[in-house]
Amino acid sequence: MDTKKAFQAVEAARSQILAAERHIWQNPETGYREWKTHAFLKAQFEALGLTPHTFDRIPASIAVQSAKDGQDRVFKPIPGFWVDFDTGRPGPRLAIFGELDSLLIPTHPECDKETGAVHACGHPAQCAALLGVAAGLSAPGALDGLSGSIRLIAVPAEEVIERDFRKGLRQEGVIRYIGGKQELLWRGILDDVDLAFLVHTTTGNARLATAPGSNGFIATQHIFLGKAAHAGSKPYEGVNALYAANLAMNAANALRETFRDNQHVRFHPIITSGGTSCNSIPERVVVESSVRAASMETAIEVNHQINRAFAGAAAAMGCRLEVHDLNGYAPRLNDASLNDLFHEVAIDLFGADCKHTRAEWSSGCSDMGDISCVMPATNAYAGGASGRGHGSDYRIADPEIACVGSAQLQVGAAMRLLANDAALARNIVAESKPPCATIADYLRLADSITFDGEVVSYGEDGRIVLSPGC
């Protein structure tokens, strides 16, 4: 392999990489809406002489689990694409991700003034770095001496926002899962992938940071259904859904002392609909929340507790309650050997005194956790951003670190994994024991978490019944 040529190719594409980051930053789009970003980045890959493939048709040769009949699988289009680099020699397939979507932070000074969208999590730098990786791997001779293949994937919808929009896409059959990488697992694009990594942007000027992992979560929507009445003249004829929601959140807060510290449990609800007018008793109130934990077992247990607390509060006020539980993301279990590899590459590239850190367990979540359920994977970090992640002061302060340095780091890691007959990659895959033996096992687990139903019912004899869903 010729790492020097690959790194030089990244450097030669520096202007293209940095311009791509600025373009994507200035044109933010939220998950499953990233069509302009898709078109722009796809054109950038094509300018390198590459042929991107979209996610609406998955060849049977790739989707080995979902296309057992030998037929290509056809799906409704979503943003994103993939490009393969094949060494021509047998070996593992490595996937490298870049995320397309933005957040919604209307107070950010550089947000889209019409939508409130802004890239306050560094995804433009990820996409620009992925373009840099493509440039490096496209260099003549870059793949010489390597075995196996590399799949670069521009993936949509990592941030879990606009839940009603994604719920609508699920109902229309456009998507099955709220996260882009989950959706790719289902569509079959990762069936023939053996290991994976992503380098996320983070604040500070560290060339690299790694962590053992991060939380998973369950996404829940609670809909309290009361009875409207005139709030001034006859409030006693109504059933106040807003009071029921307030009671429910207080009941859930009383559970916090039961959360185990080593499971990093987080529960953070918001009211997205709280009534229509102050002179009417609110009859429909919607609470959205996430339950995060270091294991899915704990997330399921705590979510059950909170659903029970919400149902009890609804019953106390005479409300009905709909519960809509949706599989969020699995805990992210970063592979230690892949983390070690990144630190070795960072030192080789940037010197023994380069600023690289090892972080602790994170209570944030990412659909890289779902990837780590089925294969060895890691989510490393490259600095270059400033401000608060997901905050109104977030920006890319040092694009050299966030984009160019990140691309070189990823190229170096990929080439080292596949060198010497892909010995390191083969060893990591052989020693890995992911939680799910197959993608099909993972999908069954994800689907088992989903629940939709009304959980509080009232009998004619005055009895109140809470269903098993809570």
224/166 same-domain check: no
Which residues lie closer than 8 Å to 7 by C-beta, 6 or more apart? 136, 349, 408, 411, 412
Is 365 contained in some domain? yes
pLDDT of residue 339: 96
Distance CA 323, CA 300 (A): 14
Domain count along the chain: 2
Is 286 contained in some domain? yes
**pLDDT tens profile 361-397:** 888 889 999 999 999 999 999 999 999 999 999 999 9
278/210 same-domain check: no
Is 451 contained in some domain? yes
455/381 same-domain check: no
Q: Label residue 140 by pLDDT band (50, 70, 90).
A: very high
Distance CA 49, CA 64 (A): 27
In terms of residue numbers, what domain contains 336? 3-214+331-435
Cβ–Cβ < 8 Å for 263, 294: yes
pTM of the model: 0.92
- For residue 210, CA distances in Å to 200, 257, 346, 356, 358 come to 10, 30, 11, 8, 5
259/358 same-domain check: no
Dihedral angle over CA of 176, 182, 184, 189, nearest 10: -130
pLDDT of residue 352: 82
Q: Label residue 470 by pLDDT band (50, 70, 90).
A: low
Label each residue of the chain as H, E or C.
CCHHHHHHHHHHCHHHHHHHHHHHHHCCCCCCCCHHHHHHHHHHHHHCCCCCEECCEECCCCCCCCCCCCCCEECCCCCCEEEEEECCCCCCEEEEEEECCCEECCCCCCCCCCCCEECCCCHHHHHHHHHHHHHHHHCCCCCCCECCEEEEEEECCCCCCCHHHHHHHHHHCCCCCCCHHHHHHHHCCCCCCCEEEEEEEEECCCCEEECCEECEEEEEEEEEECECCECCCCHHHCECHHHHHHHHHHHHHCCHHHCCHHHCCEECCEEEECCCCCCECCCEEEEEEEEEECCHHHHHHHHHHHHHHHHHHHHHHCCEEEEEEEEEECCEECCHHHHHHHHHHHHHHHCCCCCEEECCCECCCCCHHHHHCCCCEEEEEEEEEECCCCCCCCEECCHHHHHHHHHHHHHHHHHHHHHHHHHHHHHHHHHCCCCCCCHHHHHHHHHHHCEEEECEEECCCCCEEECCCC
221/210 same-domain check: no
Distance CA 22, CA 25 (A): 5
What CATH number should be reported for the domain holding residue 452? 3.30.70.360
Is 199 contained in some domain? yes
% of the chain with per-residue pLDDT over 90 = 85
248/361 same-domain check: no
14/160 same-domain check: yes
What is the phi/psi pair of residue 332, to 5°?
-90, 115
% of the chain with per-residue pLDDT over 70 = 98
Q: Label residue 258 by pLDDT band (50, 70, 90).
A: very high
State the CB neighbour count (10 A cutoff) for residue 256.
11
Q: Label residue 458 by pLDDT band (50, 70, 90).
A: confident
51/82 same-domain check: yes
Cβ–Cβ < 8 Å for 175, 187: no
Mean pLDDT, rounded, for 10-36: 97
44/186 same-domain check: yes
The distance from CA 386 to its chain's CA centroid, rounded to whole angstroms, is 21
Is 420 contained in some domain? yes
Mean pLDDT, rounded, for 188-205: 95
Strands 456-458 and 464-466: antiparallel
User: Is the pLDDT assigned to residue 129 strictly greater than 90?
Assistant: yes
Is 126 contained in some domain? yes
pLDDT of residue 66: 67
325/337 same-domain check: no
pLDDT of residue 5: 84
**What is the maximal distance between C-alpha atoms in the chain?**
82
Mean pLDDT, rounded, for 396-422: 97
**Is the model more confident about 56 or about 360?**
56
pLDDT of residue 68: 67
Is 441 contained in some domain? no
User: Is the pLDDT assigned to residue 67 strictly greater than 70?
Assistant: no
226/367 same-domain check: no
Average model confidence (pLDDT) across the chain: 94
74/179 same-domain check: yes
Is 15 contained in some domain? yes
Q: Which two tokens stand for residue 179?
A: 């996260």
**pLDDT tens profile 34-52:** 999 999 999 999 999 999 9
What CATH number should be reported for the domain holding residue 24? 3.40.630.10
